Amino acid sequence: MTVAKDAINQYIPHRAPFVMIDNLVSASQERFETDFYITADNLLVADGFFQESGLLENIAQTCAASFGYLDQQAGGAPKIGFIGAITKVEIHELPPVHSTIKTVVTPLHQLGNISLVQGESFLEGRILLGCEMKIVVTE
């Protein structure tokens, strides 16, 4: 475990009840991974399922936590990032409450303060949602 749930808010600006990741499982320049247990009272749950918006936010927060962690490892402070664009969204399945999803993000390109990443979330090995996201990090 790279960053456990109880320390994750050192790396992301989000606060409860809008924290949509639990543990930062691993983070390198090539790959980020988080997990997230979906509670029944999650703000982005509807009709017993974590919604598309939640899965996208989960991918964005996976990026935020990983960039923050890598910044800190490099001796800097975590920076604030925001979603610039979301493209190539493919939704396969929504996870039910009381399940734990795994999210994997692969950085594809970086140009200045903008990173293009591919994000995918999984439940028990099945892909839930995939997309590309442009993350803009404040200077």
Interface ranges with other proteins (CB under 8 A): 84-85, 108-109, 111-112, 114, 116, 134, 136
User: Closer to other proteins at the Cβ: 109 or 126?
Assistant: 109
Cβ closer to other proteins: 39 or 113? 113
Give the residue with the Cβ less far from other proteins, 5 or 134.
Answer: 134
- Comparing CB distances to other proteins, the nearer of 74 and 111 is 111
Q: Phi/psi of residue 67, each to 5°?
A: -60, -40
- In the complex, the smallest distance separating the C-beta of residue 1 from other proteins, rounded to whole angstroms, is 32
Closer to other proteins by Cβ: residue 1 or 108:
108
Smallest separation, CB 139 to other proteins (Å): 12
CA distance 41 to 86: 26
CA distance 40 to 55: 15
Rounded least distance, CB 22 to other proteins, Å: 29
Residue 138 C-beta: closest distance to other proteins, Å: 13
Handedness of CA 126, 5, 39, 58 (dihedral sign): negative
Torsion angle of the four alpha carbons 103, 108, 112, 114, in this order, in degrees rounded to the nearest 10: -40
Q: Whole-number minimum distance, CB 29 to other proteins, in Å?
A: 16
